[in-house]
Each structure stands twice: as structure tokens, then as C-alpha cells.
């Protein structure tokens, strides 16, 4: 059985001092929750303080991006071995990276393969824009991004990948997908594609999350669907009163 998974994507919020304060509110509520893998993804400069504060707990730390090369003359970039000292996870291909920073499917794929090679768990984000959704091409977009992102990832490695379905129109808008709609994409498109590509057993081993305006009041609806293994949470991960109940709702 797949273990539930909830990751908080802090985006470009929280200085190191603010991160310590948020941790002091989150930790007492989070440490006692069993049956869910909990991951906090602060900005790079807050990774070290967060990693040292969660040490000794089962809470994991992730980054929000990385370069695919192990080192090199790439001013402003962060390499996988630098993350691997403090993190076990890395969010890759988030729609804000694709939309604002020109990340292509090809570069996302380089990052996914590099993360796996460096022992990091990639959280591969896929999702359609509002225009694409209204044009009825959700399946084309989601499968193209999944297939391209996982190109060259073999059946043995696939269980180490986490996929997050995040419709772009639901991110930060307060307008979440319906649980039924999210399940149609997650079970009917992504997991079905994984099964046809990697076989049933491998497809059943991959955690697939929903992301986009998840909050304490709607999280439980998504987790009722057995194929929705958890959530990637943005705005609500910055508030202990929101994030703790979301994690509790995901516990299996
Ligand atoms: P949101 O963001 O929860 O604020 O909609 C989700 C995400 O971008 O991962």
C-alpha cells in the first residue's frame, strides 16, 4: 500500500528567522501524526535552518528547484549534491518554473533523472492551464508532461518518483479542482498511463498528489479517493492552523 504524502511548498516566502518561527508552530502539531510522509519545501536560504529543526523527527525537507548538473559554472544555480546534504526531496517542473522561468519538458526531464541519480526524490509537477482546460486538451498536456518528464526513467526507478497533478488554474486562486475532477486526471489519465508504460505493479507503487488551493476545509474530499495519495500545498502550508489539519486528513 502506498504511503500518504503531503508536501508544503513555501515558494518565495519565509526568511530564515520567519522559517524558525513557523516551525515552532508546525512541529508540535506535526510530530505526532502517523501514517503520512510529511515534507517541508522552504526557499534555499531556509533549507538549512528547517533541516536542523526537524532533525530527529520523521519530517522531511525538500527544495523547490535545482540544476541538473552536479557542479559547474552556472551562476545562481544550486546543484543536486548541495541539496542532498540537507534534503531528501525536490519539487521539479512546478508551473511557476515552467511559466515564469521558461522551464521546458526537456529540462524538467534532465532534472528528474539527475535527482534520482543523486538519491533525491523528485516531485514532478504536471498540469494544464485554464486555456488548455477549456480547449479540452487536459489529457494531452498532462500526459505529454508526464511522459516527457519521465523519459528514460525505468521501471525500477519509477517507485521513487512522486507526481503532483496541479492544474495551473487552481494554483493560488482559491478555486480548487473538484475532488472528482482531480481523481479523473490522477486515476484515469496519469495512473492509467503509468500502468500502460510501466505495468500495473509499478503504476500502483507511484504516489500521485493533487495540488492547487488545497486547504483544511477541502483536503479530506480529495483523500477520499484511493488514487489521490496526498497533496502539494502552497499558500495553506504557511499557516500551522491550515497545514496541520491537511496532514491529519491525509493520514492512512
Ligand atoms: P496553492 O499552491 O496551494 O497556493 O494553490 C500549490 C502549489 O503551487 O504547489
List pLDDT tens digits, range 32-86.
999 999 999 999 999 999 999 999 999 999 999 999 999 999 999 999 999 999 9
Mutate to test the pocket of ligand 1, among 170, 235, 239, 243 (most ligand atoms within 8 A of CB): 235
Who's near 209: CB < 8 A, 6+ residues apart? 5, 6, 7, 123, 162, 163, 164, 165, 228, 229, 230, 231, 232
CATH class held by domain 4-251: alpha beta
Residue 1: predicted pLDDT: 84
Catalytic residue among 37, 67, 94, 103: 94
Mean pLDDT of 217-231: 98
Mean pLDDT of 20-41: 98
pLDDT > 70: percent of the chain: 100
- Provide the residue ranges of all domains of the chain, joining segments of one domain with +: 4-251
Alpha-carbon distance 17 to 55, whole Å?
A: 17
Residues within a 6 A CB radius of ligand 1: 9, 166, 171-172, 211-214, 232-236
Residue 79: predicted pLDDT: 98
Q: Is 94 an active-site residue? A: yes
CB 224 within 8 A of CB 252: no
Residue 163: predicted pLDDT: 99
Res 24 pLDDT > 90:
yes
Predicted TM-score (pTM) of this structure: 0.98
Question: Parallel, antiparallel, or unpaired for β 207-211 and 230-233?
Answer: parallel
Alpha-carbon distance 86 to 72, whole Å?
A: 20
pLDDT, one tens digit per residue, over 103-129 is 999 999 999 999 999 999 999 999 999
Q: How confident is the model at residue 252 (pLDDT cuts 50, 70, 90)?
A: confident
What are the grid coordinates assigned to 243, written together? 497545514
Q: Is 85 an active-site residue? A: no
DSSP one-letter string for 190-212: IIHHHHHHH-HHHHHHSEEEEES
Alpha-carbon distance 40 to 143, whole Å?
A: 27
Q: DSSP state, 214?
A: -
- Nearest atom in ligand 1 to the alpha carbon of residue 96 is 8
Res 243 pLDDT > 90:
yes
User: CB burial class (10 A; 0-12, 13-18, 19+) of residue 144?
Assistant: middle
Amino acid at each position: 500500500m502506498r504511503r500518504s504524502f503531503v508536501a508544503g511548498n513555501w515558494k518565495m516566502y519565509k526568511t530564515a528567522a520567519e522559517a524558525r518561527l513557523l516551525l515552532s508552530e508546525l512541529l508540535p502539531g506535526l510530530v505526532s501524526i502517523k501514517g503520512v510522509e510529511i515534507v517541508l519545501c522552504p526557499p534555499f536560504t531556509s533549507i538549512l535552518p528547517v533541516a536542523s529543526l526537524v532533525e530527529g523527527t520523521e519530517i522531511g525537507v525538500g527544495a523547490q528547484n535545482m540544476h541538473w548538473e552536479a557542479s559547474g559554472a552556472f551562476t545562481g544555480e544550486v546543484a543536486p549534491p548541495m541539496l542532498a546534504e540537507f534534503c531528501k526531496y525536490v519539487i521539479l517542473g512546478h508551473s511557476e518554473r515552467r511559466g515564469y522561468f521558461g522551464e521546458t519538458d526537456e529540462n524538467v526531464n534532465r532534472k528528474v533523472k539527475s535527482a534520482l541519480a543523486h538519491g533525491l526524490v523528485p516531485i514532478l509537477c504536471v498540469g494544464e492551464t485554464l486555456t488548455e482546460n477549456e480547449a479540452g486538451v487536459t489529457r494531452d498536456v498532462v500526459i505529454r508532461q508526464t511522459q516527457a518528464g519521465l523519459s528514460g526513467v525505468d521501471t525500477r526507478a519509477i517507485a521513487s518518483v512522486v507526481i503532483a497533478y496541479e492544474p495551473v488554474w487552481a494554483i493560488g486562486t482559491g478555486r480548487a479542482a473538484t475532488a472528482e475532477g482531480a481523481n479523473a486526471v490522477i486515476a484515469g489519465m496519469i495512473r492509467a498511463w503509468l500502468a500502460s508504460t510501466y505495468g500495473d505493479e509499478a503504476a500502483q507503487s507511484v504516489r500521485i498528489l493533487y495540488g492547487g488551493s488545497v486547504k483544511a476545509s477541502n483536503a479530506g474530499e480529495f483523500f477520499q479517493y484511493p488514487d489521490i495519495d496526498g497533496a502539494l500545498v502552497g499558500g495553506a502550508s504557511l499557516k500551522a492552523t491550515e497545514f496541520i489539519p491537511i496532514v491529519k486528513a491525509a493520514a492512512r
